[in-house]
């Protein structure tokens, strides 16, 4: 190249360098600024003189001399193509500006570099702003409480928010990889909805699908189109769970359908009025009951069918002042003029502010019921048992038999005192508790207790109470029967059976006493013969006398009439004493009686004498049914924390099924000389203790009798339940 050409080239470079729009600088390999043009100075706010002493890294925001020199050396060494990079610089006024740098080798010999830079601060600001918007948008999508998804025509689902997992059971990546994992109902219709939305049509529809756990859920889907260059590229969709609303709507619809079905087919008249009582709806039953067609009464006052004095009385009583529902019995005029008695249940319907806006009335024809009640009243009035109707402590009704049982001259005299005061004090808590149960809708079992008559005398009664309705309101219906004479008869029967058992035991006991007497007599004769008296003779005589005393004591306890008294007793010891009484008969017949009891048996609250009588009856029956050499097992065990079970099992002849079915009937017996009263009396004693018993038997194998007694009863010392 000639010298002129070089000069011309340098002139052109200098002109381009000084007047270029981009900032230009020549930099040494150490990073020193050797030349800068006007644009470079303008961009950074320095003069050319201020910049030339500086190094390149001094005007970079995070510049480091070593890093800059290393970069320039690397470019020179590798002879790389021009390098582009973005770097922040600090202007003279301290403001940060972003530059895009284009670095090339200007002079390989002098190791100079040409740096061209363009300010891109606005571009960087927009990029940063875009990143922030993207982060916010992504945060909104990720944390939106309702599922959000993006749908495009070409790619289908392109984004699903985490909230979708709660609504579907599937994670977002599961659905993105397999959108058909969810079983959507009417899928074809749903896809058509999305296609219409991509064409610009509004999207708002409801869809149902199967959750991963198998439940059917409902969602409402709305979308907003995302456009680019005026063309819809994708859809931004939000799915809202409407399952509860859907189910409520379906239930409401079912309820409305059911209501219309009931009202249109009900035998009762169903009427709806406004707050003034003007009929808005009445069911077809009005035609059958009162002769009017529904359209004849709609728009009229609802009380028009009532007798006018009943209407005035009802309106003047302010019926809805204390309750939103009232029950009214009133005579209604049939269209043909005759009276129909109706029971009207009227309920006020309120708005959200508690103001009455409508009335719902259900009217039932009770004409025939009232006639039947009148007949029933006459039956109750003439009943030989005491019949009373009460509500709390208030008397509502008592029949003539009740007045006579109490011993008063008329009903008003009986009703001067609360009903509970006629109950013996010992039983009042029990009766009050039972009446509370009945008031709660329960019917209680028959029990025995005592009643105080007007003259102060006490009689035995049994009573049963049940809930009833008296004049439209809940009440308690109680029947009381005098059982004083029956109780006397039962006591005589028990004592008679007790004496009968004692007499039957006498022969065996006499034999049992004869044996120790023979031993005592023998030892006394030895002592009289002059033989030396031995201490062991006296010990044996003493033991035999104690044995005689025990046997006679048991017999006297059994035979002697005693007042029934229930106290806690050791049932195992009681049974052992009973077996002692019967051991003679067992020994005479070579029958082994084995008694086994559980450890730590609870005490049984009982009448000791009566329980012994029961055990003697059953064990004696077993002895009589068992052949010589047989076995009788008596076992006592605790069933649970509430009951004791006693089993008497023998190896006797057994009882046939037809005879087994009749056991317990008065005067029915399987023995030649039996009375048939033993088992009946035993049943009565067991049931009076709140217990039960059962008998199972197989002919030529044996019989098993199982008795069960409650360990503790709340009323064992007060009321005696009767089964």
Does residue 405 surpass a pLDDT of 50? yes
Residue 129: other Cβ atoms inside 10 A: 10
Q: Which helix (H) or strand (E) holds 702?
A: strand 702-710
Q: Quick one: fold of 3-125? A: Beta-Lactamase (3.30.450)
Average pLDDT, the chain: 79
Q: Is the pLDDT higher at 108 or at 395?
A: 395
Highest mean pLDDT among 172-181, 532-541, 674-683: 172-181
160-169: long-range contacts (C-beta < 8 A, 24 or more apart)? 164/239, 167/211, 167/217, 167/219, 167/239, 167/241, 168/209, 168/211, 168/212, 169/211, 169/212, 169/213
Q: Is the pLDDT higher at 144 or at 262?
A: 144
pLDDT band at 713 (very low <50, low <70, confident <90, very high): very low
The CATH number that domain 144-246 falls under is 3.30.450.20
pLDDT digit string (tens) for 11-64?
A: 887 888 888 888 898 888 777 888 889 888 998 899 888 888 888 778 876 655
Average pLDDT over residues 126-150: 82
pLDDT digit string (tens) for 493-548?
A: 665 555 555 555 555 555 556 656 755 766 676 667 666 656 666 776 776 677 67
CATH class of 266-365: alpha beta
Q: Which residue has the tokens 């306890």?
A: 557
676: left (phi over 0), alpha (psi -120 to 50) or beta: left
Residue 225: other Cβ atoms inside 10 A: 17
- Is residue 86 within 8 A of residue 100, CB to CB? The reply is yes
Residue 60: other Cβ atoms inside 10 A: 18
Q: Round to whole Å and give the CA distance between 618 and 219.
A: 74
Helix H, strand E, coil C: the string for 377-425 is: HHHHHCCCCEEEEEECCEEEEECHHHHHHHCCCCHHHHCCCCHHHHECH
Which positions ≥6 away from 540 have C-beta within 8 Å?
A: 519, 523
pLDDT band at 361 (very low <50, low <70, confident <90, very high): confident
What is the reported pLDDT for 74?
66
- Is residue 32 within 8 A of residue 22, CB to CB? The reply is no
Q: Round to whole Å and give the CA distance between 194 and 199.
A: 9
Lowest mean pLDDT among 107-121, 347-361, 463-477: 107-121
pLDDT band at 490 (very low <50, low <70, confident <90, very high): low
- Is residue 339 within 8 A of residue 332, CB to CB? The reply is yes
pLDDT digit string (tens) for 262-276?
A: 767 778 888 888 888
Q: Which residue has the tokens 């025990």?
A: 550
**DSSP annotation string for 199-256:** TT---EEEEEEE-TTS-EEEEEEEEEEEEETTEEEEEEEEEEE-HHHHHHHHHHHHHH
Q: Round to whole Å and give the CA distance between 619 and 626.
A: 10
Q: Do 3-125 and 266-365 fold alike per CATH?
A: yes
Q: Is 319 exposed, middle or buried (0-12, 13-18, 19+ CB in 10 A)?
A: middle
Alpha helices in 560-607 (DSSP H): 571-588
Q: Round to whole Å and give the CA distance between 222 and 194.
A: 10
- Is residue 121 within 8 A of residue 97, CB to CB? The reply is yes
Average pLDDT over residues 446-459: 88
Q: Helices 484-528 and 571-588 sit at what angle, rounded to 10 degrees?
A: 60
Q: Is the dihedral of CA 609, 615, 620, 623 positive or negative?
A: negative
pLDDT digit string (tens) for 337-360?
A: 888 888 888 888 888 888 888 888
What is the reported pLDDT for 441?
84
Lowest mean pLDDT among 366-375, 422-431, 543-552, 651-660: 543-552
Does residue 646 surpass a pLDDT of 90? yes
- Is residue 619 within 8 A of residue 582, CB to CB? The reply is yes
Helix H, strand E, coil C: the string for 54-110 is: CEHHHCECCCCHHHHHHHHHHHHHHCCCCEEEEEEEECCCCCEEEEEEEEEEEECCC
What is the reported pLDDT for 551?
60
- Considering the entire predicted model, what is its pTM? 0.34
Does residue 723 surpass a pLDDT of 60? no
Pairing of strands 592-597, 631-638: parallel
Does residue 310 surpass a pLDDT of 90? no
Pick the CATH number of 370-482 from 3.40.50.880, 3.30.450.20, 3.40.50.620, 2.70.150.10: 3.30.450.20
* Of 3, 33, 39, nearest in space to 18 by CA: 39
Which positions ≥6 away from 381 have C-beta within 8 Å?
A: 399, 400
Three-state DSSP state, 290: helix
Does residue 136 surpass a pLDDT of 90? no
Which architecture does CATH list for 487-721?
2-Layer Sandwich (3.30)
- Is residue 121 within 8 A of residue 128, CB to CB? The reply is no
- Is residue 141 within 8 A of residue 148, CB to CB? The reply is yes
Q: Is the pLDDT higher at 242 or at 543?
A: 242
Average pLDDT over residues 172-201: 85
Does residue 287 surpass a pLDDT of 80? yes
Average pLDDT over residues 78-95: 78
Q: Which residue has the tokens 């709507």?
A: 249
Query: Which structure tokens are listed for 204?
Result: 């708002």
**Percent above pLDDT 90 for the chain:** 5
Torsion, Cα of 464, 468, 470, 475 (10° steps): 70
Q: Which helix (H) or strand (E) holds 146?
A: none
Q: Round to whole Å and give the CA distance between 57 and 71.
A: 11
Domain residue extents for the chain: 3-125, 144-246, 266-365, 370-482, 487-721
Q: Is the pLDDT higher at 334 or at 499?
A: 334
pLDDT digit string (tens) for 120-135?
A: 888 888 888 888 887 8
What is the reported pLDDT for 76?
64
What is the reported pLDDT for 648?
93
**Percent above pLDDT 70 for the chain:** 79
Does residue 717 surpass a pLDDT of 70? no
Query: Which structure tokens are listed for 676?
Result: 């048939």
In what order do the strands lie in the sheet containing 279-282? Answer: 279-282, 269-274, 356-365, 339-350, 325-333
Q: How many residues can be counted in the chain?
A: 723
What is the reported pLDDT for 719?
39
Three-state DSSP state, 607: coil
- Is residue 612 within 8 A of residue 646, CB to CB? The reply is no
- Is residue 26 within 8 A of residue 34, CB to CB? The reply is yes
Q: Round to whole Å and give the CA distance between 55 and 113.
A: 13
Average pLDDT over residues 437-448: 85
What is the reported pLDDT for 543?
65
Q: How many CA atoms lie within 13 A of 106 on its CB side?
A: 20
pLDDT band at 707 (very low <50, low <70, confident <90, very high): very high
Q: Is 261 exposed, middle or buried (0-12, 13-18, 19+ CB in 10 A)?
A: exposed
Write the CA distances from 499 to 174, 396, 556, 557, 689, integer angstroms: 90, 48, 10, 11, 21
b/e string for 138-163 if b means 16 or more Cβ within 10 A? eeebeeeeebbbbbbeeeebebbbeb
Lowest mean pLDDT among 323-327, 394-398, 541-545: 541-545
Which positions ≥6 away from 165 have C-beta within 8 Å?
A: 171, 172
What is the reported pLDDT for 518?
58
Cα Rg of the chain, angstroms:
54
């Amino acid at each position: 190249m000639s010298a002129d050409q070089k000069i011309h080239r340098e002139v052109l470079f200098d002109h381009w360098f000084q007047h270029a729009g981009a900032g230009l600088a020549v930099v040494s390999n150490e990073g020193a600024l050797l030349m800068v043009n006007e644009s470079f100075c303008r961009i950074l706010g320095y003069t050319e003189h201020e910049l030339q002493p500086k190094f390149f890294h001094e005007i970079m925001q995070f510049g480091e001399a070593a890093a800059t020199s290393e970069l320039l050396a690397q470019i020179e060494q590798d002879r790389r193509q021009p390098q582009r990079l973005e770097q922040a610089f600090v202007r003279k006024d301290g403001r940060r500006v972003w530059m895009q740098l284009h670095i090339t080798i200007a002079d390989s010999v002098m190791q100079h570099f040409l740096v061209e830079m363009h300010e891109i601060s606005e571009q960087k600001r927009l990029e940063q702003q875009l990143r922030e918007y993207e982060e916010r948008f992504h945060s909104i999508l990720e944390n939106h409480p309702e599922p959000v998804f993006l749908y495009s025509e070409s790619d289908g689902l392109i984004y699903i928010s985490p909230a979708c997992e709660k609504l579907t059971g599937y994670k977002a990546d599961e659905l993105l990889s397999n959108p058909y994992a969810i079983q959507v109902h009417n899928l074809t219709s749903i896809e058509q909805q999305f296609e219409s939305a991509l064409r610009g049509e509004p999207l708002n529809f409801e869809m149902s699908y199967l959750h991963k756990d198998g439940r059917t859920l409902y969602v409402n889907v709305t979308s907003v189109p995302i456009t680019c260059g005026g063309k819809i590229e994708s859809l931004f969709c939000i799915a809202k769970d409407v399952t509860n609303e859907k189910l409520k709507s379906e239930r409401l619809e079912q309820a409305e359908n059911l209501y219309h079905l009931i009202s249109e087919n009900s035998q009762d008249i169903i009427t709806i009025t406004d707050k003034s009582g003007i009929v808005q709806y009445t069911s077809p039953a009005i035609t059958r009951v009162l002769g009017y067609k529904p359209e004849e009464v709609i728009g009229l006052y609802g009380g028009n069918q009532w007798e006018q004095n009943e209407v005035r009385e009802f309106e003047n009583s302010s019926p809805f002042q204390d309750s939103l529902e009232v029950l009214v019995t009133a005579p209604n005029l049939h269209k043909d003029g005759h009276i129909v008695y109706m029971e009207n249940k009227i309920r006020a319907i309120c708005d959200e502010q508690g103001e009455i806006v409508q009335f719902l009335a259900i009217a039932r024809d009770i004409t025939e019921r009232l006639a039947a009640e009148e007949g029933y009243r006459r039956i109750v009035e003439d009943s030989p048992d005491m019949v009373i109707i009460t509500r709390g402590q208030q008397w509502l009704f008592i029949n003539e038999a009740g007045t006579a049982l109490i011993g008063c001259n008329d009903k008003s005299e009986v009703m001067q005192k609360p009903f509970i005061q006629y109950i013996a004090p010992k039983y009042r808590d029990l009766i009050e508790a039972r009446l509370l149960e009945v008031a709660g809708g329960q019917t209680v079992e028959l029990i025995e207790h005592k009643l105080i008559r007007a003259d102060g005398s006490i009689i035995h009664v049994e009573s049963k109470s049940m809930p009833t309705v008296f004049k439209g309101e809940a009440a308690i219906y109680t029947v009381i029967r005098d059982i004083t004479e029956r109780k006397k008869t039962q006591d005589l029967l028990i004592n008679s059976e007790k004496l009968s058992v004692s007499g039957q035991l006498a022969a065996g006991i006499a034999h049992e006493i004869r044996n120790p007497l023979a031993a005592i007599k023998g030892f006394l004769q030895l002592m009289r013969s002059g033989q030396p008296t031995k201490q062991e003779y006296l010990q044996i005589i003493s033991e035999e006398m104690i044995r005689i005393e025990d046997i006679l004591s048991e017999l006297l306890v059994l035979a002697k009439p005693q007042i029934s008294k229930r106290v806690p007793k050791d049932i195992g010891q009681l049974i052992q004493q009973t077996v002692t009484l019967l051991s003679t008969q067992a020994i005479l017949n070579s029958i082994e009686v084995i008694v086994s009891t559980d450890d730590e048996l609870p005490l049984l609250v009982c009448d000791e004498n009566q329980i012994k009588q029961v055990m003697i009856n059953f064990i004696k029956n077993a002895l009589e049914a068992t052949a010589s050499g047989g076995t009788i097992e008596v076992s006592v065990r605790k069933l649970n924390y509430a009951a004791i079970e006693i089993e008497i099992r023998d190896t006797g002849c057994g009882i046939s099924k037809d005879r087994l079915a009749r056991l317990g009937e008065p005067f029915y017996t399987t023995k030649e000389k039996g009375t048939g009263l033993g088992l009946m009396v035993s049943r009565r004693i067991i049931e009076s203790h709140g217990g039960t018993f059962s008998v199972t038997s197989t002919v030529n194998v044996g019989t098993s009798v199982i008795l069960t007694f409650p360990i503790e009863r709340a009323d064992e010392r007060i009321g005696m339940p009767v089964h």
